[in-house]
Structure 1
C-alpha cells in the first residue's frame, strides 16, 4: 500500500513558473513600496502640506503595522489556509495602495499606509511559508528560495530608479502602480497556488495588538514631542500609555498558550545581545534613507530621479560587503565583523553629519554612500546567523521571524528618535517645519542642520550596535553550523 504520509508538492521539477512569479512578485512589490516612499517624501510633503511629524508618519505607519503584526500574519496562514490568507493580504495591500494614491490629506494617507502594512504583514510571511509547501525539497525549492530572496535585492535597487522616475511624474504613481501589479498577482494566485490544510491554533491576537499599539504610542511621543513640546499632555500620555502597553505585552506573552514571543528562546545571553544589535542596525537603516533623500532634494536641489540614482552605490557597497562577510563569518568570530561594519558605518555617518549646502556628490556623497553601504553589509550578514546559532532545527523558523520583527519594528522607533533630534535642531536655529521651497536662506540653513543632525543620531545608533556586538560570543563554528542548519531547514 502507498504511504499516506508522503507529502505531495505541486511543483517538483522546475522552480520557474506561475507559482514563483506570484510569490516573488509579491515580495518585489513589498520591497519596492518600502524603498520608493523615502524618495517621494519631499514631494508628498509639498503637495499635501505635511508637517515634519506627518512626513515621518508616512514611513513609520507602514512599518509599525507591518512589524507589529508580522508574526501573527504568519500564523493566520497556518490557522485558515495559506493560499486564502495570502490572497487576502494581497487584496488588502492593493486596496490600501489605491487609497494612498488617491489620498487628499495627511490623515487619509497615513491611515492607508498603516493598512498597507497590515496587508504586507499578512501576505509576506505567508508567501515564504507557501514556498515551503509548493516546491519540493531539494534543488527545486532551493531555486525558488533563491528567486524569492533575490527579489529583495532587485527591489532595493530598482525601487530607487523606478521610484525616482515615477515621482518625477507624480508621487501618487508610486502607490497606484501597485494596483495593476496586485490584480495580476491575485488572478495568478487563484490559478497557480494550492491550498494548505488549516490547523487548530489559538492565535495570540492580544499580544500582536498590544505590541503594535505600544510601539505606536512610543513613536507618537517621540515624533510629536519636538513640535508639541515634551511636557505637553498628548506627548506624555502617549509615552506612558505606549510603555504601559509594552509592559502588558510582556505579561501576556508569559501566559499565552501560543505566544508570539516565546521567552524560552531568550535564555542565551549571546542571542539577546544579537537581537539588540539587530534592532539598532535596523534603526540605522530605516532612519538613514529618508533623511539622506530629503537632504539631497531639499538642500542640494536634486530631482527625485537623481536622488534615487545617488543611492544606487549604497546597494552595491552593501552587496560587496555581504559577499565578503558570508565568506569570513565561518572563519573569524562574527562579533568582529559586526563591530567592523558598525564602526565603519558610525565613522561614515559622523562625516555625513558635517555636510552643508556646499556638498557635492563626487566630492562628498559618493564615498559616504558606498562606505556606509559596505559597513552595513558587513554587519547584516552575521547577525541573522547569530540569531539561530546553536539551536535545533525546529527553532530556526521562530528565531528568524523574531529577528526580522526586531529589525522592522525598531526602525520606526529609531526614526522617531532621530526625527525628534532633527526637528529640535531645526527649530533651535530659528527654522520652521514645512516645505523647503517656501523657506528663506536662514530657514534652509536650519533645515540642513536638522537633516545632518539626523545623521548624527544614526551614527549614535550604529555606535551602540558596535558596543552591544562585543557581547556576542558565538564562534565561527557555531555560525557555520547555523548556516548548515538553515539550509537543511529550507530543504526539509
Structure 2
C-alpha cells in the first residue's frame, strides 16, 4: 500500500489538474510532497520504532497513512491535497521501516523468515507496478478512489496488527529530530523554488528566498549531523569514494524512473487521448523489460564489474529517451511507444539491480542496515528533487512555444501542441539524469566478488 501510493497518482494527474484546477507546479507537488516526506523522514521513522516499540509505531504510521488517505480523497483544492499527501508520506516513513523490522522479528530465523522477507520484497515490486494499473482503473470512476481505497485496507491492517503482532523490545535512543526536520524542509524549499520558477519568475522574491532558505537549511542539517549523538547520516559511512559514487548513481537512476513515469503518463492522456486505464496498461511492457533485465543483471553482477552494467543500462536508456523527446500527437503505441517503453525498462533494470549491492559491498554486518537505509533514502529523494528540475524544464518549454498553464481540456490546438512539446522535452532531462548515473558509475570500482559477498552478507543480516 505504501509503495503503491508512490506511483498510484501518476495516472490521475491529468484528471486531478482538470478537476481541482491545479497549476503545472501544483500537479507535480501531488507526487513530490509524498516522496519528500517519505524519503526525508524514513531514517527517523526507523529510529522511532527502535525507541518506542515497532508494533506501536507501525500501528501509528498506518493509522496516520489511513487518515491522510481519507483527507486526500476529500481534498477540494491544491493546498488541501498537497498537505494531505505530505501527511501520507509521513505515515509511510513511520510504517515502512518498522514493517520490515517486524518481519525480521516476528518470524523465526531460517526458511520461514527467508520466505517472509521474500514476500515482503515481492510486495514492494508488485506495489510499484500495480500502482500504475490500479491507479488507472480507479481513476476511470474518480481520482478520489485512488486514495479512498486505502481507508478500509488501512483499518483492516491496524485491526490485524493489534491482534497478530508482538511488541518488540525497545531502548532509549536520542532521536535526531532536528536533522530529519532540517533535511526535509531544506529539500522542500529547494523543490519549491525550482518548481515555481517558470510560473512566478526566476527573479521573484519568493523563488529566490526559497532557494536561499533551502540551501541554508541543508547547511544547518550538515552542521547538526556532525554534532548529533545519534545522527541520521553518519559521515563515517561516506569515507569510501566508491560508496559515495554508488549513492549518487542510485539518486539519478531513480530520478529517471520517477520523472519518466509522470510525464509519459501525462503525454499519453493529454496528447494521445488515452483513458487512465489504457495509460496504466501501456506501462506493463516497461515492467516486463525491467523484470527481464533485473534477472539478467542479477546473474551477470557476480561475473562482471557492476559499473559496466550501470553504464550499459544508461547507454540503452539515453537513445530511447532522446527518441521519445521527438514524439508528438501523431505518435502511435505500437508504432512508436511499445518498443521504446520495453527498451527503457530493460535499461533501467540493468542499472538499478547492482547498485543496492554496491552500497553494502565490503562492509561488516553491523553497517549493512544503515547503508541500506541511506540507499533507500537516496532512491526515494532522487525522484522528487529531479522532478522539480525536469518539471521546470517542461513548463518553460511549453510557455516559450506559446503554450499556457493549466488543464489540457481547456486548450486550443496550438496550446496543446506546445504542451506536448513540453512533456516530451522532459525526457531530455531524464536522459541527462541517465547520463550522469552512467558517468558516476565509472567511479564505482567494486569487483564481482565483492558484490557476491555483499549479497551473501545481506541475506545473512536479514536472516539475523
The alignment's TM-score, normalised by the length of structure 1, stands at: 0.94
Q: Report what 2:340 is aligned to.
A: 368
Q: How does 1:174-253 map to 2 (within 5 A)?
A: 174-253=146-225
Instruction: Measure the CA separation in 1 of the matches of 2:215 and 2:258.
Output: 22
Q: Report what 2:399 is aligned to.
A: 427
**1:347 Cα shift?**
1.3
Q: Report what 1:343 is aligned to.
A: 315
**1:158 Cα shift?**
2.5
Q: Report what 2:99 is aligned to.
A: 127
Cα contact 1:156–1:315 (8 A) shared by 2: no
**1:179 Cα shift?**
0.2
Q: Report what 1:463 is aligned to.
A: 435
SS at match of 1:474: coil
Q: Report what 2:74 is aligned to.
A: 102
Cα contact 1:91–1:186 (8 A) shared by 2: yes
Cα contact 2:250–2:355 (8 A) shared by 1: yes
Q: Report what 2:260 is aligned to.
A: 288
Q: How does 1:259-274 map to 2 (within 5 A)?
A: 259-274=231-246
Instruction: Measure the CA separation in 2 of the matches of 1:420 and 1:31.
Output: 26
Instruction: Measure the CA separation in 2 of the matches of 1:155 and 1:69.
Output: 20
Encode CA deviations 1:375-401: one digit per residue, 9 max, x unaligned: 000011100000000000110000000
Instruction: Measure the CA separation in 1 of the matches of 2:176 and 2:4.
Output: 30
Cα contact 1:424–1:450 (8 A) shared by 2: yes
Q: How does 1:330-479 map to 2 (within 5 A)?
A: 330-479=302-451
Encode CA deviations 1:204-247: one digit per residue, 9 max, x unaligned: 00000000000001100110001111111000000000001111
Encode CA deviations 1:421-467: one digit per residue, 9 max, x unaligned: 00000000010000101101110110000001101100011011111
Q: Report what 1:166 is aligned to.
A: 138
In the alignment, does 2:7 pair up with 1:35? yes
Q: How does 1:60-75 map to 2 (within 5 A)?
A: 60-75=32-47
**1:289 Cα shift?**
0.8
Cα contact 2:136–2:276 (8 A) shared by 1: yes
Encode CA deviations 1:29-55: one digit per residue, 9 max, x unaligned: 112211210000000000001000100
Cα contact 1:62–1:115 (8 A) shared by 2: yes
Instruction: Measure the CA separation in 1 of the matches of 2:343 and 2:30.
Output: 28
Cα contact 2:301–2:309 (8 A) shared by 1: yes
Cα contact 2:10–2:135 (8 A) shared by 1: no
Cα contact 1:93–1:118 (8 A) shared by 2: yes
In the alignment, does 2:285 pair up with 1:313? yes
The alignment's TM-score, normalised by the length of structure 2, stands at: 0.99
Q: Report what 1:86 is aligned to.
A: 58
In the alignment, does 2:53 pair up with 1:49? no
Cα contact 2:10–2:132 (8 A) shared by 1: no
Q: Report what 2:90 is aligned to.
A: 118
Cα contact 1:36–1:174 (8 A) shared by 2: yes
**1:182 Cα shift?**
0.3
Cα contact 1:432–1:443 (8 A) shared by 2: yes
**1:156 Cα shift?**
2.6
Instruction: Measure the CA separation in 1 of the matches of 2:125 and 2:189.
Output: 32
Any stretches of 5+ residues in structure 2 without a counterpart? none
Q: Report what 2:48 is aligned to.
A: 76
Encode CA deviations 1:270-326: one digit per residue, 9 max, x unaligned: 001001111111111111111000000000000000000000111111010000000
Instruction: Measure the CA separation in 2 of the matches of 1:291 and 1:74.
Output: 32
**1:66 Cα shift?**
0.4
Encode CA deviations 1:313-370: one digit per residue, 9 max, x unaligned: 1111101000000000000000000000112111111111011111000011001110
**1:143 Cα shift?**
0.3
Encode CA deviations 1:81-132: one digit per residue, 9 max, x unaligned: 0000000000000000000000000000000000000000000000001111
Length, aligned pairs only: 464
Q: Report what 1:10 is aligned to.
A: none
Instruction: Measure the CA separation in 2 of the matches of 1:160 and 1:226.
Output: 28
Instruction: Measure the CA separation in 2 of the matches of 1:160 and 1:65.
Output: 21
Indicate the RMSD between aligned Cα atoms, in angstroms. 0.7
Instruction: Measure the CA separation in 2 of the matches of 1:479 and 1:239.
Output: 39
Cα contact 2:179–2:225 (8 A) shared by 1: yes
**1:161 Cα shift?**
2.1
SS at match of 2:8: helix
**1:157 Cα shift?**
2.9
Instruction: Measure the CA separation in 1 of the matches of 2:348 and 2:124.
Output: 16
Instruction: Measure the CA separation in 2 of the matches of 1:389 and 1:198.
Output: 29
